[in-house]
Structure formats: structure tokens, C-alpha cells
């Protein structure tokens, strides 16, 4: 397990996640977070606008996904591009797996934070869709591939959080996207009412 | 086009959607909605808790999706079950296409309503996942199929809203789910970092 590093931002983040898990997000104050980190309120506000922003940092994923989508080999099918982008982004989480698990528990316990999380995922889907359109994919197809990518990422992320074997998130992403293929293998369409 | 019916609830809904589109959701008051519907505030509050609830009614989709998933032929693959459930639910929207388009414009104009909409879709995904598990599907696979189903529904819905040919939502759902199959046809996996 990593020990606290001297950086103020990281100490504040760890202190906040511990308190959110111990006392609940609502009951935790900025003063308590700063005190536990051995820092002042003023320092907290230099790094975060409020206690919610500790959970929703300016998102490095947006840039990683956009870049990885833009530079993926042109031979890849749409979901191959998605797989490339998501596996490029996965190490961001593996490098801070304990924090990610703590954060997930806090978000899962609070409906307002869950709505914020869904909005964040929608932003990631829009980022992916935009990057896929820039590769020449038609708008609706790009939107679909992006939404499926984020859907797969959500499921892979949950599997990773709960994985007793602690396999990497990239492995879970790959496994989940493989499953997408199997789900569609024998799709049969029912009669469509009204057509 | 259907004319106003004598039912208070329907009149309030139509009045609200017109005002939300004309003036914006934030700027519209319950008093204005009631007045436009020719009814009292008291009547409004007999039908809706607040002006947001007009847009997020107790959701008939939850029951339709759960029932259709439970009763889908056992021969269907997971996404076949999803296609069955979504095409069963689609006529709910086709029967009130004009209202659905008005509502979509209101939600698209307001970030808070968009977050609420995402939460509603997450509830539908959870409903589908639960119904798929009840059919014997393994938890992670059920979650993935459900998330993909809702992702496809979102894209199909947008295509339907914008369709100049006014084809049915069920057709758009089928077309979108067909596309899912094509997206996965030639997926190639990149090297997985860290494995």
C-alpha cells in the first residue's frame, strides 16, 4: 500500500475519501478534511472548489480517450477503436486502484453523486463519439459505438472493483468487449409491432 | 394530430410542455401551467408533485420492459431478448410522438433535467438487468446486455426524434441493434498494457 506523499492535493484527496467512507459524504466538512490532511481550509480551496470536486476532478480520461481514438490504427473496426482507447485509459485506474475503490463506495452510497457520475460518463461518451466522427464514422454509428463503449467500460469497471484476483482494468475491458460480440452472435429479431 | 382531451392530467402535461418550450423550464411557474390548461394550481398538485415531475412521470416503461423480458422466447440470445423488450415498449412513444419531441427539446435545453434523464435511463438499465438475471443470465453478462440495450435505445430514440420520414421507434430500435452486430464483426484487440 502506498504511504501518504508530501503533495497537498493527494493528501487532501486521501483524507476526503477516508472521511466520506467513514462518516458519509454529506456529514463530512471541508474543515475536517483539511484537519485530517494536516492542512488548512485555505489550502483545500486552492485545490478544490468544494468537497464534491474531490470526487470529480478535471478528468484526465477525456484527453486520453480523445487522443487514443484519434491515433488508433485505421484498420480497426469501430469497437476495436473503442477497445484501443479504453485500454489506453485503463492504467490511470490501475495506478490508483485503492483510491478508485474508496471513491466508488462513496459514489454508490449517494444518489446525487450517482447522478453526477452518470453525467461524467455521458461526457466521456460524447468525447468518444466526437473522436469517432473525426475518423469518418457516420454520426449515429459513432454515437452508438461510443455509448456501447461507455456501457462496456461501466461493467468492466464494476467487475474490476469487485475482482478478488485483482486483474488489471485493461483485462476486464477486453473481457467485457469480447462478451459484446457473443451477445450479438445469435440475435433474432421479433416481429416489429406497427411495421 | 390529436386534440386536447378532457382529462386534466393530459391538459396539464400539454400546457406544461408548451410553456417549457416557449419560455424555458426554469422560467415557467405552476400557476402559468394551470392557467393555460384552464385548471387550478390545486388540480395541478393533485396530479404532479412539482413542475419537474411532468417530465418524469411514474414510468410505464419499467413494467413493460420487465414483463417483455420475462416472457421473451427462451430461444433468444441476450440481445434478442433486449430487442424484444424494446420493441414492445416502443409503441408507448409512437402513440405520443409530438409530446415526446416537445419533451426531448425541453430536457436537452436544461443540464439538470439531462442529469435526471440519465438517472431514469440507469433505472431502466437496472430493470432490464434484473429481468435478464431472472432468466438465468450471469450477473455481469446481464448488466452488459442491459447497458447495451439502453445505449442502443438512446441512439434509436434520437434517430427517431430527428427522422424526417417519421418511421416508427420500433424500426429505429431494430436498425440500431442491427448496427451493434456490425460494430463487433471485425473487432481486433490491441496489445493490453500491463498484462
> Are B170 and A192 inside 8 Å of each other by CB?
yes
Q: Using the beta-carbon criterion (under 8 Å), do A180 and B184 form an inter-chain contact?
A: yes
CB contact under 8 A, B192 and A174: yes
What DSSP character marks residue B39? -
CB B113 within 8 A of CB B59: no
Cell of B185: 464483426
Is residue A141's pLDDT more than 90? yes
Closest C-alpha among A134, A138, A123 to residue A56: A123
Query: Which DSSP category does B72 fall into?
Result: S
Instruction: State the CATH architecture for A60-181.
Output: Orthogonal Bundle (1.10)
Chain A: residue whose CA lies nearest to B155: A144
3-state secondary structure of B168: coil
Task: Tell me whether residue A144 is exposed, middle or buried, using C-beta atoms within 10 angstroms of its C-beta: 0 to 12, 13 to 18, 19 or more.
Answer: buried
Q: How near does any CA of chain B get to the CA of A78, in Å? A: 6
CATH of B60-180, one of 1.10.357.10, 3.30.70.1520, 3.40.50.970, 3.50.50.60: 1.10.357.10
CB B94 within 8 A of CB B110: no
What's the Rg (C-alpha) of chain A?
19
For every residue of B98-145, DSSP letters joined together read HHHHHHHHHHHT-HHHHHHHHHHHHHHHHHHHHHHHHTT--HHHHHHH
User: A93, A177, A180, A186: best mutation site toward chain B, by most B Cβ within 10 Å?
Assistant: A180
**Which burial class, exposed, middle or buried, applies to B120 when counting CB atoms under 10 A from its CB (0-12, 13-18, 19+)?**
middle
Chain B contacts of A81, Cβ < 8 Å?
A: none
Q: Which helix (H) or strand (E) holds A185?
A: helix A169-185
Contacts of B132 (CB under 8 A, 6+ apart): B69, B78, B81, B141, B142, B145, B146
Cα B110 to chain centroid, rounded = 17
Q: Give how far A20 is from chain B: nearest CA, Å.
A: 22
Distance, CA of A122 to CA of A143 (rounded, Å): 11
Which residue in A186, A191, A159, A187 sits closest to A172, CA to CA?
A159
Domain A8-47, CATH among 1.10.10.60, 1.20.120.160, 1.10.10.10, 3.40.50.300: 1.10.10.60
Interface test with A, best of B56, B90, B188 (most A CBs within 10 A): B188
Q: What is the pLDDT of residues A23-61, one digit of tens each?
A: 999 999 999 999 999 999 999 999 999 999 999 876 778
Whole-number mean pLDDT of chain B? Answer: 88
Is the per-residue pLDDT at B190 higher than 80? Answer: no
For A1-15, A36-50, A86-100, which range has the lowest pLDDT when averaged over its residues?
A1-15
| Contact between B114 and A94 using a beta-carbon 8 Å cutoff | no
Q: How many Å lie between the alpha carbon of A183 and the closest alpha carbon of chain B?
A: 6
Contact A84 B190 (CB under 8 A): yes
Residue B56 pLDDT grade (very low, low, confident, very high; cuts 50, 70, 90):
confident
Note the pTM of the prediction, 2 decimals: 0.81
Choose among A91, A144, A159: nearest Cβ to B193. Answer: A91
Angstrom distance (rounded) from CA A184 to CA B182: 9
Q: Where are the domains of chain A?
A: 8-47, 60-181
Amino acid at each position: 500500500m502506498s504511504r501518504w506523499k508530501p503533495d497537498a492535493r493527494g493528501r487532501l484527496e486521501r483524507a476526503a475519501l477516508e472521511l466520506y467512507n467513514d462518516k458519509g459524504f454529506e456529514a463530512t466538512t471541508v474543515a475536517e478534511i483539511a484537519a485530517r490532511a494536516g492542512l488548512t481550509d485555505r489550502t483545500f480551496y486552492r485545490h478544490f472548489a468544494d468537497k464534491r470536486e474531490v470526487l470529480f476532478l478535471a478528468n484526465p480520461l477525456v484527453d486520453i480517450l480523445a487522443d487514443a481514438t484519434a491515433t488508433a490504427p485505421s484498420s480497426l473496426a469501430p469497437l476495436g477503436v473503442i477497445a484501443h482507447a479504453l485500454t489506453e485509459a485503463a492504467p490511470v485506474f490501475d495506478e490508483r486502484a485503492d483510491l478508485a475503490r474508496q471513491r466508488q463506495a462513496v459514489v454508490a452510497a449517494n444518489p446525487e453523486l450517482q447522478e453526477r457520475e452518470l453525467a461524467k460518463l455521458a461526457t466521456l461518451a460524447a468525447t468518444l463519439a466526437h473522436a469517432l466522427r473525426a475518423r469518418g464514422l457516420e454520426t449515429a454509428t459513432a454515437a452508438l459505438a461510443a455509448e456501447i463503449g461507455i456501457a462496456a467500460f461501466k461493467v468492466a469497471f464494476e467487475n474490476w472493483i469487485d475482482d478478488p484476483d485483482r486483474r488489471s482494468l485493461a483485462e476486464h475491458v477486453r473481457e467485457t468487449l469480447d462478451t459484446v460480440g457473443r451477445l450479438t452472435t445469435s440475435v433474432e429479431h421479433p416481429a416489429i409491432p406497427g411495421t
